[in-house]
A = this chain, B = another copy of it.
Amino acid sequence: MQEERRLAVLRAIVEDYVATEEPVGSKALVERHGLGVSPATVRNDMAALEDEGYITQPHTSAGRVPTDKGYRLFVDRLSTVKPMSAAEKRAISTFLDGAVDLDDVVQRSVRMLSQLTRQVAVVQYPTLSRSTVRHVELVSLAPNRLLVVLILSTGRVEQRLVELDADLADDDLAALRTRINRAATGEIIAEAVTALRAAVPEIDGGATAAVVDVLVEAMLDHRSDGRIAVGGAANLARYGDSFDSAVRPLLEALEEHVVLLKLLGEASTGGMVTVRIGAEGPYEELASTSVVATGYGPRDDALATLGIVGPTRMDYPGTMAAVRAVARYVSRILDEG
Protein backbone atom coordinates (compact mmCIF):
# COMPACT_ATOMS: atom_id res chain seq x y z
CA MET A 1 0.00 0.00 0.00
CA GLN A 2 2.68 2.50 0.77
CA GLU A 3 4.40 1.08 -2.27
CA GLU A 4 1.35 2.01 -4.27
CA ARG A 5 1.33 5.53 -2.94
CA ARG A 6 4.98 5.93 -3.69
CA LEU A 7 4.31 5.23 -7.32
CA ALA A 8 1.46 7.72 -7.22
CA VAL A 9 3.90 10.26 -5.84
CA LEU A 10 6.37 9.52 -8.62
CA ARG A 11 3.67 9.93 -11.21
CA ALA A 12 2.61 13.21 -9.66
CA ILE A 13 6.19 14.44 -9.65
CA VAL A 14 6.70 13.56 -13.29
CA GLU A 15 3.47 15.19 -14.36
CA ASP A 16 4.09 18.33 -12.36
CA TYR A 17 7.66 18.68 -13.46
CA VAL A 18 6.75 18.22 -17.10
CA ALA A 19 4.07 20.85 -16.76
CA THR A 20 5.90 23.46 -14.71
CA GLU A 21 9.51 22.84 -15.64
CA GLU A 22 10.46 23.43 -12.03
CA PRO A 23 11.59 21.09 -9.28
CA VAL A 24 8.53 20.05 -7.35
CA GLY A 25 8.30 20.06 -3.57
CA SER A 26 6.22 18.06 -1.15
CA LYS A 27 3.79 20.83 -0.33
CA ALA A 28 2.87 21.80 -3.85
CA LEU A 29 2.42 18.13 -4.59
CA VAL A 30 -0.27 17.40 -2.00
CA GLU A 31 -2.08 20.58 -2.97
CA ARG A 32 -2.27 20.05 -6.69
CA HIS A 33 -2.90 16.33 -6.70
CA GLY A 34 -5.53 14.97 -4.43
CA LEU A 35 -3.44 12.41 -2.59
CA GLY A 36 -4.92 12.42 0.86
CA VAL A 37 -1.83 12.54 3.00
CA SER A 38 0.30 15.22 4.56
CA PRO A 39 3.43 16.78 3.07
CA ALA A 40 5.57 15.06 5.68
CA THR A 41 4.43 11.66 4.50
CA VAL A 42 5.15 12.60 0.96
CA ARG A 43 8.60 13.71 2.05
CA ASN A 44 9.30 10.27 3.43
CA ASP A 45 8.17 8.69 0.19
CA MET A 46 10.32 11.09 -1.75
CA ALA A 47 13.35 10.21 0.33
CA ALA A 48 12.71 6.56 -0.45
CA LEU A 49 12.24 7.25 -4.15
CA GLU A 50 15.47 9.16 -4.15
CA ASP A 51 17.30 6.27 -2.49
CA GLU A 52 16.04 4.00 -5.22
CA GLY A 53 17.26 6.42 -7.88
CA TYR A 54 13.97 7.50 -9.39
CA ILE A 55 14.23 11.16 -8.48
CA THR A 56 16.94 13.57 -7.47
CA GLN A 57 17.38 17.07 -6.17
CA PRO A 58 19.32 19.62 -8.18
CA HIS A 59 20.73 20.92 -4.88
CA THR A 60 19.96 20.56 -1.21
CA SER A 61 16.72 22.16 -0.14
CA ALA A 62 15.27 22.21 -3.60
CA GLY A 63 12.34 20.22 -4.93
CA ARG A 64 12.75 16.90 -6.69
CA VAL A 65 13.23 16.16 -10.36
CA PRO A 66 12.74 12.79 -12.07
CA THR A 67 15.83 10.91 -13.18
CA ASP A 68 16.03 8.93 -16.41
CA LYS A 69 15.22 5.88 -14.35
CA GLY A 70 12.18 7.69 -12.98
CA TYR A 71 10.92 8.55 -16.43
CA ARG A 72 11.51 4.98 -17.48
CA LEU A 73 9.34 3.63 -14.69
CA PHE A 74 6.73 6.25 -15.45
CA VAL A 75 6.58 5.31 -19.09
CA ASP A 76 6.62 1.59 -18.50
CA ARG A 77 4.19 1.30 -15.65
CA LEU A 78 2.55 4.52 -14.62
CA SER A 79 1.34 6.21 -17.76
CA THR A 80 -1.72 5.40 -19.74
CA VAL A 81 -1.50 6.42 -23.38
CA LYS A 82 -4.10 9.11 -23.59
CA PRO A 83 -6.19 8.72 -26.73
CA MET A 84 -6.27 11.45 -29.34
CA SER A 85 -9.37 13.56 -29.47
CA ALA A 86 -11.78 13.01 -32.32
CA ALA A 87 -10.88 16.39 -33.72
CA GLU A 88 -7.22 15.55 -33.72
CA LYS A 89 -7.86 12.25 -35.41
CA ARG A 90 -9.89 13.96 -38.07
CA ALA A 91 -7.20 16.57 -38.59
CA ILE A 92 -4.52 13.93 -39.04
CA SER A 93 -6.67 11.90 -41.37
CA THR A 94 -7.70 14.70 -43.70
CA PHE A 95 -4.29 16.31 -43.77
CA LEU A 96 -2.52 13.10 -44.66
CA ASP A 97 -5.19 12.09 -47.15
CA GLY A 98 -4.39 15.20 -49.13
CA ALA A 99 -0.98 13.87 -50.09
CA VAL A 100 -0.37 13.36 -53.79
CA ASP A 101 2.61 11.02 -53.78
CA LEU A 102 5.03 9.21 -51.52
CA ASP A 103 7.24 12.22 -50.97
CA ASP A 104 4.25 14.25 -50.06
CA VAL A 105 3.05 11.67 -47.57
CA VAL A 106 6.37 11.79 -45.79
CA GLN A 107 6.51 15.58 -45.84
CA ARG A 108 3.04 15.88 -44.43
CA SER A 109 3.69 13.27 -41.78
CA VAL A 110 6.72 15.14 -40.55
CA ARG A 111 4.79 18.36 -40.41
CA MET A 112 1.83 16.78 -38.67
CA LEU A 113 3.99 15.05 -36.10
CA SER A 114 5.97 18.14 -35.22
CA GLN A 115 2.81 20.17 -34.84
CA LEU A 116 1.06 17.59 -32.69
CA THR A 117 3.97 17.04 -30.36
CA ARG A 118 5.67 20.41 -30.60
CA GLN A 119 8.91 18.54 -30.91
CA VAL A 120 11.36 17.79 -33.67
CA ALA A 121 9.82 15.13 -35.90
CA VAL A 122 11.74 12.57 -37.90
CA VAL A 123 10.26 10.31 -40.58
CA GLN A 124 12.21 7.71 -42.47
CA TYR A 125 11.26 7.09 -46.08
CA PRO A 126 9.83 3.63 -46.61
CA THR A 127 12.55 1.09 -47.07
CA LEU A 128 12.77 -0.76 -50.31
CA SER A 129 13.81 -4.06 -48.87
CA ARG A 130 10.34 -5.09 -47.78
CA SER A 131 8.50 -3.76 -50.80
CA THR A 132 7.84 -5.71 -53.97
CA VAL A 133 8.71 -5.10 -57.61
CA ARG A 134 5.73 -3.90 -59.58
CA HIS A 135 7.37 -3.54 -62.97
CA VAL A 136 10.71 -3.21 -64.69
CA GLU A 137 10.98 -1.26 -67.92
CA LEU A 138 13.91 -1.09 -70.30
CA VAL A 139 14.00 1.84 -72.68
CA SER A 140 16.43 2.04 -75.55
CA LEU A 141 17.64 5.59 -75.89
CA ALA A 142 20.28 4.68 -78.42
CA PRO A 143 21.57 1.32 -79.66
CA ASN A 144 24.10 1.24 -76.85
CA ARG A 145 22.29 3.32 -74.27
CA LEU A 146 19.58 1.95 -72.07
CA LEU A 147 17.32 3.51 -69.49
CA VAL A 148 16.38 1.08 -66.74
CA VAL A 149 13.23 1.97 -64.82
CA LEU A 150 12.26 0.14 -61.65
CA ILE A 151 8.77 0.63 -60.21
CA LEU A 152 8.05 -0.62 -56.73
CA SER A 153 4.88 -1.35 -54.81
CA THR A 154 5.52 1.59 -52.52
CA GLY A 155 5.16 3.88 -55.49
CA ARG A 156 8.84 4.63 -55.61
CA VAL A 157 10.43 4.84 -59.04
CA GLU A 158 14.17 4.39 -59.53
CA GLN A 159 15.83 4.95 -62.87
CA ARG A 160 19.35 4.38 -64.12
CA LEU A 161 21.18 4.97 -67.34
CA VAL A 162 23.29 2.09 -68.67
CA GLU A 163 26.01 2.47 -71.25
CA LEU A 164 26.52 -0.79 -73.08
CA ASP A 165 29.80 -1.95 -74.58
CA ALA A 166 28.03 -3.33 -77.61
CA ASP A 167 24.75 -2.45 -79.30
CA LEU A 168 21.69 -4.40 -78.28
CA ALA A 169 19.18 -5.50 -80.89
CA ASP A 170 15.54 -4.59 -80.39
CA ASP A 171 14.25 -8.13 -80.14
CA ASP A 172 17.00 -9.07 -77.72
CA LEU A 173 15.90 -6.11 -75.64
CA ALA A 174 12.29 -7.24 -75.70
CA ALA A 175 13.28 -10.77 -74.72
CA LEU A 176 15.38 -9.46 -71.89
CA ARG A 177 12.56 -7.27 -70.68
CA THR A 178 10.01 -10.08 -70.49
CA ARG A 179 12.50 -12.42 -68.88
CA ILE A 180 13.38 -9.90 -66.22
CA ASN A 181 9.76 -9.11 -65.46
CA ARG A 182 8.82 -12.75 -65.31
CA ALA A 183 11.53 -13.32 -62.73
CA ALA A 184 11.17 -10.21 -60.63
CA THR A 185 7.63 -8.85 -60.79
CA GLY A 186 5.68 -9.41 -57.60
CA GLU A 187 8.69 -10.52 -55.60
CA ILE A 188 10.04 -8.66 -52.63
CA ILE A 189 13.39 -7.03 -53.21
CA ALA A 190 15.55 -9.69 -51.64
CA GLU A 191 13.86 -12.49 -53.61
CA ALA A 192 13.87 -10.49 -56.79
CA VAL A 193 17.61 -9.98 -56.60
CA THR A 194 18.38 -13.67 -56.32
CA ALA A 195 15.73 -14.69 -58.82
CA LEU A 196 17.10 -12.18 -61.28
CA ARG A 197 20.65 -13.37 -60.88
CA ALA A 198 19.56 -16.96 -61.42
CA ALA A 199 17.01 -16.57 -64.19
CA VAL A 200 18.68 -14.28 -66.68
CA PRO A 201 21.38 -15.91 -68.77
CA GLU A 202 23.89 -13.95 -70.78
CA ILE A 203 22.58 -13.00 -74.17
CA ASP A 204 25.37 -11.13 -75.79
CA GLY A 205 28.81 -10.22 -74.52
CA GLY A 206 28.08 -9.07 -71.00
CA ALA A 207 25.41 -6.55 -71.95
CA THR A 208 22.77 -8.42 -70.02
CA ALA A 209 24.99 -8.79 -67.03
CA ALA A 210 25.52 -5.05 -67.01
CA VAL A 211 21.78 -4.41 -67.08
CA VAL A 212 21.13 -6.84 -64.26
CA ASP A 213 23.93 -5.36 -62.21
CA VAL A 214 22.49 -1.91 -62.55
CA LEU A 215 19.03 -3.16 -61.71
CA VAL A 216 20.24 -4.92 -58.59
CA GLU A 217 22.12 -1.84 -57.58
CA ALA A 218 18.96 0.20 -57.99
CA MET A 219 17.02 -2.28 -55.88
CA LEU A 220 19.49 -2.19 -53.08
CA ASP A 221 20.26 1.48 -53.36
CA HIS A 222 20.80 2.66 -49.85
CA ARG A 223 20.38 6.27 -50.69
CA SER A 224 16.64 5.99 -50.86
CA ASP A 225 16.68 3.42 -48.09
CA GLY A 226 18.22 5.78 -45.65
CA ARG A 227 16.51 8.96 -46.63
CA ILE A 228 15.00 10.90 -43.80
CA ALA A 229 12.79 13.94 -43.43
CA VAL A 230 13.15 16.23 -40.46
CA GLY A 231 10.74 18.92 -39.39
CA GLY A 232 9.85 21.22 -36.56
CA ALA A 233 13.37 22.24 -35.71
CA ALA A 234 11.95 25.58 -34.63
CA ASN A 235 10.62 23.77 -31.59
CA LEU A 236 14.18 23.58 -30.38
CA ALA A 237 13.93 27.24 -29.54
CA ARG A 238 11.68 26.27 -26.65
CA TYR A 239 14.54 24.55 -24.90
CA GLY A 240 15.23 27.77 -23.08
CA ASP A 241 17.89 26.80 -20.59
CA SER A 242 20.60 24.22 -21.12
CA PHE A 243 21.19 25.48 -24.57
CA ASP A 244 24.68 24.81 -25.73
CA SER A 245 24.72 21.56 -23.85
CA ALA A 246 21.56 20.15 -25.41
CA VAL A 247 20.60 21.86 -28.63
CA ARG A 248 23.93 21.99 -30.37
CA PRO A 249 24.57 18.24 -30.37
CA LEU A 250 20.96 17.68 -31.31
CA LEU A 251 21.19 19.98 -34.29
CA GLU A 252 24.31 18.15 -35.34
CA ALA A 253 22.60 14.81 -34.97
CA LEU A 254 19.69 16.02 -37.07
CA GLU A 255 22.05 16.64 -39.96
CA GLU A 256 23.88 13.40 -39.49
CA HIS A 257 21.21 11.19 -40.93
CA VAL A 258 23.19 8.10 -40.16
CA VAL A 259 23.02 8.88 -36.47
CA LEU A 260 19.31 9.57 -36.73
CA LEU A 261 18.74 6.27 -38.45
CA LYS A 262 20.52 4.46 -35.66
CA LEU A 263 18.43 6.26 -33.08
CA LEU A 264 15.20 5.39 -34.82
CA GLY A 265 16.37 1.95 -35.82
CA GLU A 266 16.62 0.75 -32.25
CA ALA A 267 12.93 1.35 -32.05
CA SER A 268 11.52 -0.54 -34.98
CA THR A 269 10.04 -3.51 -33.21
CA GLY A 270 6.61 -4.17 -34.64
CA GLY A 271 3.52 -2.31 -33.66
CA MET A 272 4.66 -0.82 -30.39
CA VAL A 273 5.79 2.68 -29.67
CA THR A 274 9.30 2.57 -28.28
CA VAL A 275 10.83 5.14 -25.97
CA ARG A 276 14.50 5.76 -25.46
CA ILE A 277 15.15 7.99 -22.50
CA GLY A 278 18.22 10.14 -21.98
CA ALA A 279 21.52 8.37 -21.75
CA GLU A 280 20.04 4.93 -22.43
CA GLY A 281 21.38 5.18 -25.95
CA PRO A 282 24.96 5.16 -27.12
CA TYR A 283 25.29 8.89 -27.68
CA GLU A 284 26.85 10.80 -24.83
CA GLU A 285 25.86 14.18 -26.14
CA LEU A 286 22.21 13.29 -26.34
CA ALA A 287 22.01 12.42 -22.68
CA SER A 288 19.24 14.91 -22.05
CA THR A 289 17.07 13.98 -25.02
CA SER A 290 14.55 11.23 -25.51
CA VAL A 291 13.34 9.49 -28.63
CA VAL A 292 9.78 8.31 -29.12
CA ALA A 293 9.45 6.19 -32.23
CA THR A 294 7.60 3.37 -33.89
CA GLY A 295 7.69 1.39 -37.09
CA TYR A 296 5.09 1.85 -39.78
CA GLY A 297 4.14 0.32 -43.07
CA PRO A 298 1.30 -1.40 -44.87
CA ARG A 299 -0.18 -4.44 -43.16
CA ASP A 300 2.01 -3.75 -40.11
CA ASP A 301 5.17 -4.69 -41.95
CA ALA A 302 7.61 -2.22 -40.49
CA LEU A 303 8.81 -0.66 -43.70
CA ALA A 304 10.33 2.27 -41.92
CA THR A 305 10.33 4.23 -38.74
CA LEU A 306 8.98 7.56 -37.61
CA GLY A 307 9.10 9.42 -34.36
CA ILE A 308 10.16 12.49 -32.50
CA VAL A 309 13.18 13.69 -30.61
CA GLY A 310 12.78 15.90 -27.59
CA PRO A 311 13.99 16.71 -24.11
CA THR A 312 13.74 13.98 -21.49
CA ARG A 313 11.30 16.28 -19.78
CA MET A 314 8.39 15.81 -22.15
CA ASP A 315 4.77 14.76 -22.11
CA TYR A 316 5.29 11.07 -22.79
CA PRO A 317 1.65 9.93 -22.85
CA GLY A 318 0.60 12.64 -25.28
CA THR A 319 3.66 12.23 -27.44
CA MET A 320 3.33 8.48 -27.62
CA ALA A 321 -0.29 8.82 -28.58
CA ALA A 322 0.55 11.25 -31.38
CA VAL A 323 3.35 9.09 -32.72
CA ARG A 324 1.15 6.03 -32.68
CA ALA A 325 -1.74 7.81 -34.35
CA VAL A 326 0.34 9.27 -37.16
CA ALA A 327 2.04 5.93 -37.76
CA ARG A 328 -1.34 4.24 -38.08
CA TYR A 329 -2.72 6.71 -40.56
CA VAL A 330 0.42 6.66 -42.66
CA SER A 331 0.35 2.89 -42.69
CA ARG A 332 -3.25 2.94 -43.81
CA ILE A 333 -2.45 5.31 -46.64
CA LEU A 334 0.46 3.18 -47.81
CA ASP A 335 -1.84 0.20 -47.70
CA GLU A 336 -4.32 1.82 -50.01
CA GLY A 337 -1.78 3.39 -52.38
Contacts from A to B (Cβ < 8 Å): 103, 135, 137, 139, 141, 147, 149, 151, 157, 159, 223, 231-234, 236-237, 243-244, 247-248, 251-252, 254-255
**12 further A-B pairs in the complex, CB-CB below 8 A; given A233-B255, A237-B244, A237-B248:** A135-B141, A139-B149, A147-B151, A149-B149, A149-B159, A159-B159, A231-B255, A233-B233, A233-B251, A234-B252, A236-B251, A243-B243
A112 to chain B, nearest CB (A): 14
Nearest-CB residue, chain B, relative to A140: B137
Nearest-CB residue, chain B, relative to A233: B251
Q: In the assembly, what is the distance between CA of A102 and CA of B153, in Å?
A: 26
**Stoichiometry, copies per complex:** 2
Contact flag A237-B233 (CB < 8 Å), given A135-B141, A137-B139, A149-B149: no
7 smallest beta-carbon distances between A and B, as pairs: A237-B248, A234-B251, A234-B252, A137-B139, A233-B251, A139-B139, A157-B159
Q: In the assembly, what is the distance between CA of A254 and CA of B234, in Å?
A: 9
Query: For A232, what are the chain B residues with a Cβ–Cβ distance below 8 Å?
Result: 255
Query: For A234, what are the chain B residues with a Cβ–Cβ distance below 8 Å?
Result: 248, 251-252, 255
Query: For A233, what are the chain B residues with a Cβ–Cβ distance below 8 Å?
Result: 233, 251, 254-255
A123 to chain B, nearest CB (A): 14
Q: In the assembly, what is the distance between CA of A233 and CA of B255, in Å?
A: 8
Q: In the assembly, what is the distance between CA of A252 and CA of B115, in Å?
A: 13
Between A and B, 17 residue pairs with Cβ closer than 8 Å are A103-B223, A135-B141, A137-B141, A137-B147, A147-B149, A147-B151, A233-B233, A233-B251, A233-B254, A233-B255, A234-B251, A234-B252, A234-B255, A237-B247, A237-B248, A237-B251, A243-B243
